Amino acid sequence: MRIIIFGAPRVGKGTQAKILSSHYKIPHISTGDILRKIIDDGKEIGLVVKDILSKGELVPDSIMKELIEKTLKSDNCKSGFILDGFPRTLAQAVLLEEIFAELKLETLFFIRIQISENVIVNRLTQRRVCANCGYIVNLNLIENHDECPSCRQLGTFTKRKDDEEEVIRHRLEVYHKTTAPILEYYKSKSDIIIIDGRKTVEEITSDIFSALEKAQSN
């Protein structure tokens, strides 16, 4: 099973990718996780990536191609994978197709999780990170906004710079300009599975499984 999952920031791609990864026993390849690891390593490239992401910009295609190509060619991905966060530009889509051709990958499923821009902004501006244990919460979903549900420490919530509304709006603008056209590119190559991201996590998962089963039977 090889899946590419699309969607604007905070539509639930990562959550669903993890569920699919566990169900199908294939790796979840999150470019966000890959980039965060590079940043945490503290090397020069990590500082460059951190600065780019803090502004809501996209990491250059040259960097992303090298990272994704190395990952997809690993033995871990021989039985399949779920690609989350790549491609994000039309140029990356073309580069990815070249990688797929080299690896002789043919059957792919494209999933798009859709949700309104206002919901996305609300979700991200209400996101907080516990400075003590790193737990991530959404203030809309917890009663006590002063206590971390994980470590129970008080007053430890911090707001990431990339969760400021101005940065989020810019990220969405970048998405619409550079990522949305990818959907048109893939429409000519395969059917795209459209999923309503307003539903609960469980409902979205059920919709994805049903859609994949139908697509496999065609």
Under 8 Å between Cβ of 208 and 111: yes
Judge whether 8 and 62 are in contact, CB under 8 Å. Answer: no
HEC profile for 25-65?
A: CCCEEEHHHHHHHHHHHCCHHHHHHHHHHHCCCCCCHHHHH
**Distance from C-alpha of 111 to C-alpha of 34, rounded to nearest angstrom:** 21
- Whether the bond between 87 and the residue before it is cis, its omega within 30 degrees of 0, is yes
Alpha helices in the chain (DSSP H): 13-24, 31-41, 44-54, 61-72, 90-103, 117-125, 165-174, 180-187, 201-217
Token duo for residue 108:
């792919």
Catalytic residue IDs = 13, 88, 127, 160, 171
If phi > 0 it is left, if psi is from -120 to 50 it is alpha, else beta; for residue 194 that is: beta
**Do 9 and 120 meet the contact criterion of CB atoms below 8 Å apart?**
yes
Residues 6 or more apart whose Cβ sits within 8 Å of residue 6 = 13, 110, 111, 112, 113, 179, 182, 183, 192
